[in-house]
Structure 1
């Protein structure tokens, strides 16, 4: 079965300025986004994710490369001629128009008949669960409700692709969590391709079918949340996605010997010499005594269901263990423990 591609970017680059003052925001980025997919561009500020989104929207023109929508080259197509809508971080609602008028504004500008506009407004307001707020003004709504109005306005013309540029960053934590669920529901119910930009790793892991991790204008890894989290391709991805321990080691007769002198039977491919081990805190467990890697508790952080223990190994390297708070063994600062590492879950990265 062939997968239909919504957005295909080939060797897309974007340079701002000329000569010695030129700045490369994107460097030869290529990726394909499937129809009906919730796809996230993830990375720190300045990594190029918003520049790529703006190139897809048509607000920026790539310096090089080609962007296609459903097989059609749209690299130089004006934004208003693309069946693509964008939801921005600032909701940009018209304060003097009601919710219904805001939602129907784009359709009205397209010259759609009044009956068609009214029908579309009614449909999308029901979709975002705001049908009882149609006559209110934006200032009479909460931040979350305003965000839903902005979503409804973008969904009303039934675009092929919906771009979302960090739309949840202005919301408080509880509301942000609620809107994450809402966005997943809306994408599932509409079947529209969502391309979501964020620097929040939890948002990306929670909502996405696939994630593209970016840094310094480059695409580092594309994969499912599980692939990105469990099998990062390099240290940057491992460090940026969730919490990660890094231990330096050396490959020695099929094992990796770390700074404490202990040898770990981790999965090796063709690695030789110096390597870095990426170890998630949940793959580190503790025992009060016995044979194994010795460590001392230097900090404890209670997080409700979990407790994080910061450990100092004998070579002064640090390791964080995430242990369920209902565990029979509990430790305090200064306790000595034995560390066990789930070597099957360790990722070996070239140093």
Structure 2
């Protein structure tokens, strides 16, 4: 048994319904999550990420497969007997209890002494920077403060694993970004394994040690944020994480031939026939016609402050986007022809 593994799912299947209407919310998912890491399950709605989280928590029982916690099979263990706590999208605070009462509720249920309860509540409230609000009630708190109370309540019993089910989705953009930093700080300071569920790619990229990308009940790729962004395994991952330009191409002896007729010298690996080329907007530079790998016609430009997005149409009508620093942006207007400059090593060759 690997002592560094906090959570493991082995060949986990979860089926809802029966017969022709049955749906595999989890389709043979196997994953290992290390102790002390911030791990994110990322994917669109209905991909199975929350179902997997609920199986780890014990709120759902897999149709088949196993869930292990620190090497022990907990597949059939009731939720209250797992050293796992969950922070939900709706904070589910008790309105009749103060902040301190909410945070200490779980400890009270565990039979902790009054002195230990008071000491732990004080420590955890200090950790989430809410000491001054201990006597307030949920209705007297902002959304961000309520979120911190929910986190403190989940952290108070010192679980082995903290599960977070899209806990920031109800917050406004500025507060959500602030709480992203807070969550990362809390995970680092406590050393507790965090398993975070989100459909927000930016949250996943900025907060995670590793990310598991899911779609249609399957785990498509696991890796660091940089691995997922720079080396996607398939078109879905490349499309879901960040912005991506896709070019249709055919594998030829010299590399790949685009639908424009241009040939790029690319290593194609085991690919043959039709492929998709993935190229991030920030990896495209703009130059004068004939000096880049391709020529394209400007469709429109969009100013985003630090960046300018230039939309360009290739000769086969494919539209690509180049994202360039506004200070370096080529002055271009609709109808201008520009050269596209990029390093071919930045292109990912994927199945169509």
CA spacing shift, 1:301–1:328, aligned 2, 3 Å: closer
> Deviation per CA, 1:34-92, whole angstroms, max 9, x where unpaired?
00010000000000000000000000000000111001000000000000000000001
Partner Cα separation in structure 1 for residue 306 and residue 329 of structure 2: 14
Give, in angstroms, the shift of residue 262 of structure 1: 1.3
Identify the residue that residue 342 of structure 1 maps to in structure 2: 343
8 Å CA contact retained: 2:307, 2:323: yes
Structure 1 segments (4+ residues) deviating >4 Å: none
Give, in angstroms, the shift of residue 17 of structure 1: 1.7
> Deviation per CA, 1:207-241, whole angstroms, max 9, x where unpaired?
00100000000010000000100000000000000
Partner Cα separation in structure 1 for residue 11 and residue 264 of structure 2: 41
Do structure 1's residue 218 and structure 2's residue 218 form an aligned pair? yes
Q: Provide TM-score, normalisation by structure 2.
A: 0.97
8 Å CA contact retained: 2:249, 2:259: yes
Give, in angstroms, the shift of residue 270 of structure 1: 2.4
Identify the residue that residue 88 of structure 2 maps to in structure 1: 88
Question: Structure 2 regions of 5+ residues with no counterpart?
Answer: none
Give, in angstroms, the shift of residue 111 of structure 1: 1.3
Structure 2 counterpart SS, 1:326: helix
Question: Structure 1 regions of 5+ residues with no counterpart?
Answer: none
Identify the residue that residue 28 of structure 2 maps to in structure 1: 28
> Deviation per CA, 1:266-324, whole angstroms, max 9, x where unpaired?
23212222111000001111113334411111121111111111110111011110000
Identify the residue that residue 67 of structure 1 maps to in structure 2: 67
Identify the residue that residue 298 of structure 2 maps to in structure 1: 297
Identify the residue that residue 281 of structure 1 maps to in structure 2: 281
Identify the residue that residue 147 of structure 2 maps to in structure 1: 147
8 Å CA contact retained: 2:308, 2:329: no
Partner Cα separation in structure 2 for residue 134 and residue 348 of structure 1: 55
8 Å CA contact retained: 1:10, 1:65: yes
Do structure 1's residue 309 and structure 2's residue 310 form an aligned pair? yes
8 Å CA contact retained: 1:244, 1:281: yes
Identify the residue that residue 171 of structure 2 maps to in structure 1: 171
Do structure 1's residue 79 and structure 2's residue 79 form an aligned pair? yes
Q: Provide TM-score, normalisation by structure 1.
A: 0.98
Give, in angstroms, the shift of residue 95 of structure 1: 1.1
Q: Which moved more, 1:255-264 or 1:96-105?
A: 255-264
Structure 2 counterpart SS, 1:159: coil
Q: How many residue pairs are counted as aligned between the two chains? A: 350
